[in-house]
Amino acid sequence: MARPPPRPASAPPRAASDELVVNAYSTGWLKRGFPWVYPTEVLRGGPPTPGELVRLRGEGGTSLGRAVADRGWIAARRFRRDDGPLDAAFFAERVGLAAARRTEREPDTDAWRLVNAESDDLPGVRVDVWGADLVVTLDSPSLRGVGQLVADAARAQLGAPGTTWLAERRDPRDTERTAAATRTLHGDPAPRDVVVTELGLRYEVRPALGKDAGLFTDMRTNRAWMAPHWKGSRVLNLFAHTGAFSVSARAHGAAEVVSVDLSEGYLARARRNFDLNGLDAGELIAEDCFRTLDRFRRQGRRFDRIVVDPPGFSHSEAGTWQGEKDWARLAAACLRVLDPGGWLIAASNLGSQSPKAFGGALQEGAERAGMELRLCHEGTPGVDHPAALHFPEARYSKFWVMEATPCLAASPG
Ligand SMILES: C[S@@+](CC[C@H](N)C(=O)[O-])C[C@H]1O[C@@H](n2cnc3c(N)ncnc32)[C@H](O)[C@@H]1O
8 Å CB contact between 379 and 399? yes
Q: Give residue 320 CA to ligand 1 midpoint distance, Å.
A: 13
8 Å CB contact between 408 and 371? no
Q: Do residues 308 and 382 both lie within one domain? A: yes
pLDDT average, residue stretch 211-225: 96
d(CA 266, CA 204): 11
Q: Do residues 170 and 276 both lie within one domain? A: no
- pLDDT band for 289, please (50, 70, 90 cuts): very high
Q: Do residues 103 and 35 both lie within one domain? A: no
Q: Give residue 199 CA to ligand 1 midpoint distance, Å.
A: 22
In the predicted structure, residue 87 carries a pLDDT above the cut 60? yes
pTM, rounded to two decimals: 0.92
What integer pLDDT is reported at residue 4 of this predicted model? 41
Cα dihedral sign, 182-187-189-191? negative
Q: Which domain holds residue 257?
A: 216-406
Does 3 map to a domain?
no
321 Cβ below 6 A of ligand 1: yes
Q: Give residue 311 CA to ligand 1 midpoint distance, Å.
A: 6
Question: Which atom of ligand 1 is nearest to 307's Cα?
Answer: 6
Q: Which residue has the higher pLDDT, 182 or 142?
A: 142
Q: Do residues 297 and 377 both lie within one domain? A: yes
Percent of the chain residues past pLDDT 70, beyond the cut: 92
Residue 298 makes CB contacts below 8 A (sequence gap 6+) with: none
Q: Do residues 71 and 111 both lie within one domain? A: no
316 Cβ below 6 A of ligand 1: yes
Does 150 map to a domain?
yes
Task: Give me the CATH number covering residue 26.
Answer: 2.30.130.10
306 closest CA partner among 277, 272, 332, 280: 332
237 forms beta bridges with: 259, 307
314 Cβ below 6 A of ligand 1: yes
Residue 140 makes CB contacts below 8 A (sequence gap 6+) with: 50, 70, 72, 74, 124, 168, 171, 174, 176
Does 200 map to a domain?
no
Does 2 map to a domain?
no
Does 227 map to a domain?
yes
Total count of domains within the chain? 3
Q: Alpha carbon 287 to chain centroid distance? A: 24
Q: Do residues 76 and 92 both lie within one domain? A: no
269 Cβ below 6 A of ligand 1: no
- pLDDT band for 9, please (50, 70, 90 cuts): very low
146 Cβ below 6 A of ligand 1: no
8 Å CB contact between 336 and 307? no
244 Cβ below 6 A of ligand 1: yes
pLDDT average, residue stretch 273-293: 98
Q: Give residue 305 CA to ligand 1 midpoint distance, Å.
A: 17
Q: For residue 289, what is the DSSP state?
A: H
8 Å CB contact between 369 and 336? yes
Neighbours of 75 (CB within 10 A): 26
91 Cβ below 6 A of ligand 1: no
8 Å CB contact between 244 and 203? yes
Average pLDDT, the chain: 92
Neighbours of 8 (CB within 10 A): 7
Q: Give residue 144 CA to ligand 1 midpoint distance, Å.
A: 30
- pLDDT band for 79, please (50, 70, 90 cuts): very high
Label the pairing between strands 201-205 and 63-69. unpaired
262 Cβ below 6 A of ligand 1: yes
d(CA 247, CA 271): 9
Q: Do residues 184 and 313 both lie within one domain? A: no
Does 252 map to a domain?
yes
